């Protein structure tokens, strides 16, 4: 008996929401750590699960848009919507717990909501050019993590696969680069402040992540050592 084929858009929605959930959990543990290096390290669990279980993440897919057909572009942006839904729902669920507004972060006199509000305040108050550049750098790192993980899986190099996921994630977190899906979680966790400014910020972050994601594969087309 043939296995019934699942609807591809429903599949993109499910996998995208799962990625948003994992990124949201990564944000929670990162904000819960007083030590920023430990928080950045633990955040990487989210992307590690995404690449291992083959969920769909916008910043993981967008780097390949020039190597695929036009349908892939639509799938990629639909994936972002699913990521944002998953991240927003995760923030909403966290708001139902004491960790959001009552329990202080270990070693700090702030709650998770306080930290999310401080994070989004810095991002929304930034210039659009700065926001784009910081998202651009994040896109480069995300492509490096996803493509590096793919290559390590092909070579059955598990240790290398862990390293190539963890290091770029730690770098983008510690550097304060802009990741549009993580920022969707922070924004919802912060109580959705300044929506008019957010309407300007998020398209810039999405575009910056896209440009950073395609930077390496486009430049490598000029190289004697293509991807």
* pLDDT single digits (tens) 154-180: 989 989 989 999 999 999 999 999 999
In the chain, % of residues over pLDDT 70: 98
Q: Which residue has the higher pLDDT, 7 or 137?
A: 137
Asked, for residue 3, whether it belongs to a domain, the answer is no
Domain that holds residue 91: 8-220
pLDDT digits (tens, 9 = 90+) for 86-107: 999 999 999 999 887 877 877 7
* Total number of domains constituting the chain: 1
Q: How many CB atoms within 10 Å of residue 72?
A: 14
pTM for the structure as a whole: 0.92
Residue 2 lies in a domain: no
Runs of H (alpha helix) within 57-97: 58-61, 70-94
Residue 118 sits in a domain whose CATH number is 1.20.1080.10
Q: Is residue 148 part of a domain?
A: yes
- For the chain, give the longest Cα–Cα distance: 60
Contacts of 52 (CB under 8 A, 6+ apart): none
């Amino acid at each position: 008996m043939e296995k019934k084929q699942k609807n591809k858009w429903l599949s993109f929605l499910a996998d995208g929401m799962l990625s948003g959930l994992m990124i949201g959990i990564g944000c929670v543990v990162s904000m819960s750590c007083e030590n920023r290096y430990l928080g950045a390290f633990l955040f990487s669990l989210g992307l590690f699960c995404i690449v291992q279980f083959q969920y769909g993440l916008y910043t993981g897919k967008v780097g390949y848009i020039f190597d695929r057909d036009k349908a892939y572009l639509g799938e990629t942006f639909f994936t972002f919507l699913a990521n944002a839904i998953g991240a927003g729902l995760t923030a909403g669920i966290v708001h139902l717990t004491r960790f959001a507004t009552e329990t202080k972060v270990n070693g700090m006199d702030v709650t998770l909501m306080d930290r999310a509000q401080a994070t989004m305040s810095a991002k929304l108050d930034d210039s659009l050019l700065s926001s784009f550049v910081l998202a651009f750098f994040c896109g480069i790192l995300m492509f490096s993590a996803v493509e590096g993980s793919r290559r390590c899986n092909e070579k059955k190099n598990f240790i290398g696969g862990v390293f190539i996921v963890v290091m770029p994630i730690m770098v983008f977190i510690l550097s304060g680069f802009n990741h549009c899906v993580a920022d969707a979680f922070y924004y919802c966790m912060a109580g959705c402040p300044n929506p008019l400014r957010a309407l300007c910020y998020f398209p810039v972050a999405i575009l910056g992540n896209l440009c950073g994601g395609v930077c390496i594969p486009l430049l490598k087309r000029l190289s004697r050592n293509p991807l």
